[in-house]
Amino acid sequence: MRKLLLPLLLFSVVAISALAQNHSSEFGAQSDNDSYLGGGSDRYYTDGLFLFYRHALDVKTSATLKNKVLGFEVGQKIFNPYGGNIVSVLQVDRPFAGYLYAGANLNFLHTDESNLKVGVQVGIIGPASGAKEAQTWVHKNFGFYTPSGWEYQIRNNLQLNLSADYNKLLGRGDFFIENTKADATLATYANLGTGFAGVGIGALLRAGKVNQLFNSASTQSTTIADKNFTPANKHEFFVYLKPMLNVVAYDATIQGGLFQGTDPTGVEIRKTPERIIASSMVGLTYTTNRWVFDAAATFRSKDIDQLAYRRHQWGSVTALYRFN
């Protein structure tokens, strides 16, 4: 009997490892910065830092729902005019602004490769967001210039924002390279809140080793509670393009607090946003049994008609670790 213990133990470890190939939780971070694209600028949307935690929930009682993921995140976004060293109010073509928030979302992913993700964010814009301090710290510790002009930034205002994203696979077929696929997905979103309101529609185009949208990095659903599920590819590795048309109803980082009157001191600079904005994201995604890596570049048309530059752009890098 004792001679069977070691083989049984080894078999159990292998079996548990095999079942654990699909991990139910992940934690990671994303960094956005316009300097990642080599421009050396601090222009418009200049920096963002985000932390994520996601956990897959049980969906065994549903016939149409394949995966359900609960997510939490905290983040900070920093916005500048065409430069971070402004010496005159006349140079403020886009308001200085920061946005600090915490949020939660629930992602419903269906067997037909459609998904609906709904979320809520509570945060603050203005000096309390810490944007000035964050940018100053980075510049000081990495040998850049000292930022100036933050006295003109958007004032403090509490934020409550709701969001919904809906995606639906349109088609998938063989790609030119063996054992790879290409697919197209409808991508839409809607935002409603005191800080951000608007809608967008576009497409997600992928090519490479792609998984179904209910268990893919493309839909933030690499975690899954079903231990018996086998993904189409053990590791995803694909390039993607995501063009979008965005309609902006309100943007507090440009217009200030929704119910806030004009600054009595006259220091705060507000602007009127462009209502129709085009954007495009191109990127590369790679996943392993435990890790998710993504690198992307986003190109966006003018947020405001008076901007000195016709568009702005930034890079994003993301790393997530999956576990049980």
Q: What are phi and psi of 21, to 5 degrees?
A: -65, -30
- Among residues 57, 73, 82, 78, the alpha carbon closest in space to that of 119 is found at 73
> Distance from CA of residue 8 to its chain's centroid?
45
Residues 250-266 have a mean pLDDT of: 94
pLDDT the model gives residue 18: 42
- Report if residue 1 sits inside a domain: no
Residue 6 has a pLDDT of: 42
Residue 6 lies in a domain: no
Q: What is the mean pLDDT of residues 136-148?
A: 93
User: How confident is the model over 212-251, as pLDDT tens digits?
Assistant: 999 999 999 999 998 788 899 999 999 999 999 999 999 9
* pLDDT score recorded for residue 161: 98
pTM of the model: 0.92
What is the tally of structural domains in the chain?
1
Of the candidates 236, 275, 272, which has an alpha carbon nearest to the alpha carbon of residue 254?
272
Report the chain's mean pLDDT, rounded to a whole number: 92
- Better-scored residue on pLDDT, 266 or 12: 266
Residue 18 domain-assigned?
Answer: no
The span from the first CA to the last CA of the chain, in angstroms, equals 32
Question: Would residue 10 count as lying in a domain?
Answer: no
Residue 206 has pLDDT above 50, yes or no: yes
Write down the pLDDT at residue 301: 97
| pLDDT tens digits for range 41-87 | 889 999 999 999 999 999 977 789 999 999 999 999 999 999 999 99
Residue 80, in any domain of the structure: yes
Q: Are 279 and 246 in contact (CB under 8 A)?
A: yes
Q: Which domain holds residue 153?
A: 23-323
Per-residue pLDDT tens over the stretch 160-171: 999 999 999 999
Coil, strand or helix at 111:
coil
* Predicted local confidence at residue 21, as pLDDT: 63
Instruction: Classify residue 60 as exposed, middle or buried by CB count within 10 Å of its CB (0-12, 13-18, 19+).
Output: exposed
Sign of CA dihedral 232, 235, 239, 243: positive
Q: Is position 186 within any domain?
A: yes
Share above pLDDT 90 across residues of the chain, in percent, rounded to a whole number: 84
In a domain, 7, yes or no: no
- Answer whether residue 9 is part of any domain: no
Structure letter (DSSP) for residue 148: B
Mean pLDDT of 85-105: 96
Work out the pLDDT band at 311, boundaries 50, 70, 90. Answer: confident
Cα→Cα distances 156→94, 124, 125, 150, Å = 17, 7, 5, 13
The CATH number assigned to the domain holding 278 equals 2.40.128.140
